[in-house]
Homo-oligomer: A and B are copies of this chain.
Amino acid sequence: MRRLTKTPDDGNAVEQVAGNGLLHRRALLGTAALGVVGAGIGINATGAAAEPLIEPPWGLQIGDNAPPYQTPSKFAKNVVRTLTNPDFQPRSSIARTPHHLLEGTTTPNGLHFTIVHTGVPDIDPRAHKLLIHGLVKRPLVFTFDALLRYPMTSRPAFVECGGNSAPLFSPKPIQADLQALHGLASCAEWTGVKLSALLDECGIDPGAKWFIAEGADAPHLMRSVPLSKGLDDAMIALYQNGEPLMPGNGFPMRLLLPGWEGNLNIKYLRRIKLVAEPAMSFWESQVYTEPMPLQSEARGKAYQFTFLNEVKSFITHPSPGHELKQPGVYEISGIAYSGRGKITKVMVSADGGRSWAEAALQGPVMSKAFTRFRLPWRWNGGPAILQSRAWDDQGHSQPTRAAFIAERGQLDAMPSVLAFKNHHINTITSWAVDPHGTVKHVYA
């Protein structure tokens, strides 16, 4: 098998723009310049393949019928969510998105992450109702069909659990893959009714400053949200990537608060109550708080109402679990997002942060949604530490680990990769590549 490769001595036209092999992103525009991929296997001049091209079975047989609802090939059976509670014990169930096996910016509905506390409820939309009451002029009850009468809006948005990336609080880098570390963020095109339209219908009492949102499943999870967000881009979402919501993502309706902590985006929404003060529910007083480090002056205190999911990015490929089989040119690919708005820039390093190059962003860049970034990299077969760092349109960027830990602290120990003992960590993530091409999670 003759493999076509070109060495860097070819006078390759693409310049290296940062240490350890990062190439200029314009090389992505056409591989005439990139040229060194050479991943095709050459066949000899007579046209006979080095290995004969034989007719495989599927070229000689009838296949299966097209079903009413498609599901993936059995050969893609690894492209699934991992489950924290596969035997359905009486505790929360968490299902994570396999980002290391996906591309683009959309998370397909089958793979959107799910967190439920008493399982996924089976809700009949013909019986489900949404009550809006409290400090309103006219309390109203909406059936699902009633909501379909209101103007709809469609927009992409990520949803991220406040506890996503919590393994990064560990004092030692957890040896797990991207799915385990950052799998509690997903992105879809949501369609639904602006909450502001429904609040208009009810009429808002001037004393209202917050609203309480509550779910219909057994935990009746409740969170308090500033009314200003409700009047901004809050949505009662009814469709996910075009079809009705997945059961694990809120069917038949959920609250969508673009860019805000996942727990606030109440699934199976049944009630919104306008109030003067927050409810101080279990979830916002006991769970989604961020304790200050013991060594700080603020020890014993905790952040509360950390609404925003701050800017974050991570490299999806190469990442732990992938193996680079040989030196050569690879495309570093990843996703970036910010609850504040659009991503403006993603920088990538191949030398653990000593030098950086700007990645190409897949347009159009959308506010509070996943942005795909890419950069070509020539791996010379030596050790490398890959990092990405994103900036958003409010000027915020991801902190280094050192800066973050100084301000927020870290755990003394990490009992398991699943422990959520703190939230809202968005430090730079580092992947080390060794000379065997193995990729693992490190701190750098």
- Interface residues in chain A, defined as those with a beta carbon under 8 Å from any beta carbon in chain B: 4, 27-28, 30-32, 34-35, 37-43, 47, 49, 51, 53, 56, 58-76, 79-83, 85-86, 88, 90, 93-95, 101-112, 114, 116, 118-129, 131-133, 138-143, 146-147, 149-154, 189-191, 196-198, 200-202, 216-218, 220, 238-244, 246-249, 251-252, 268, 270, 328-331, 333, 362, 364, 366, 372, 374, 376
Q: Return A415 CB to nearest CB of chain B, in Å.
A: 22
Contact A119 B247, CB 8 Å, known A69-B111, A241-B108:
no
Q: Are A31 and B201 in contact (CB under 8 A)?
A: yes
Q: Return A92 CB to nearest CB of chain B, in Å.
A: 10
Contact A69 B71, CB 8 Å, known A39-B149, A149-B37:
yes
Q: Are B95 and A141 in contact (CB under 8 A)?
A: no
In-complex Cβ contact of A149 among B49, B217, B331 (8 A)? B331
Residues of B within 8 A of A122 (CB): 58, 63-64, 73-75
Q: Return A217 CB to nearest CB of chain B, in Å.
A: 6
Contact A328 B149, CB 8 Å, known A30-B196, A40-B201, A239-B104:
yes
Residues of B within 8 A of A73 (CB): 122-123, 244, 246-247, 251-252
Complex A-B: 6 CB contacts under 8 Å: A58-B218, A64-B119, A65-B85, A70-B246, A71-B71, A73-B246
CA distance A31 to B81 in the complex (A): 39
Residues of B within 8 A of A120 (CB): 63-66
Residues of B within 8 A of A27 (CB): 151
Q: Return A7 CB to nearest CB of chain B, in Å.
A: 16
CA distance A363 to B189 in the complex (A): 12
The 6 lowest CB-CB distance pairs between A and B, nearest first, are A40-B140, A63-B119, A39-B146, A68-B80, A58-B121, A65-B88
Residues of B within 8 A of A239 (CB): 102-104
CA distance A204 to B120 in the complex (A): 55
In-complex Cβ contact of A70 among B121, B198, B248, B376 (8 A)? B248
Residues of B within 8 A of A241 (CB): 104, 106, 108, 241
Contact A43 B139, CB 8 Å, known A37-B149, A70-B110, A109-B70:
yes
CA distance A63 to B219 in the complex (A): 11
Q: Are B118 and A63 in contact (CB under 8 A)?
A: yes
Residues of B within 8 A of A330 (CB): 149
Chain B residue with Cβ nearest A60: B218
Q: Are B151 and A34 in contact (CB under 8 A)?
A: yes
CA distance A70 to B418 in the complex (A): 21
Q: Return A40 CB to nearest CB of chain B, in Å.
A: 3
In-complex Cβ contact of A123 among B58, B216, B248 (8 A)? B58
In-complex Cβ contact of A93 among B66, B81, B329, B362 (8 A)? B66
CA distance A140 to B47 in the complex (A): 10
Q: Return A253 CB to nearest CB of chain B, in Å.
A: 12
Residues of B within 8 A of A71 (CB): 69, 71, 110, 246
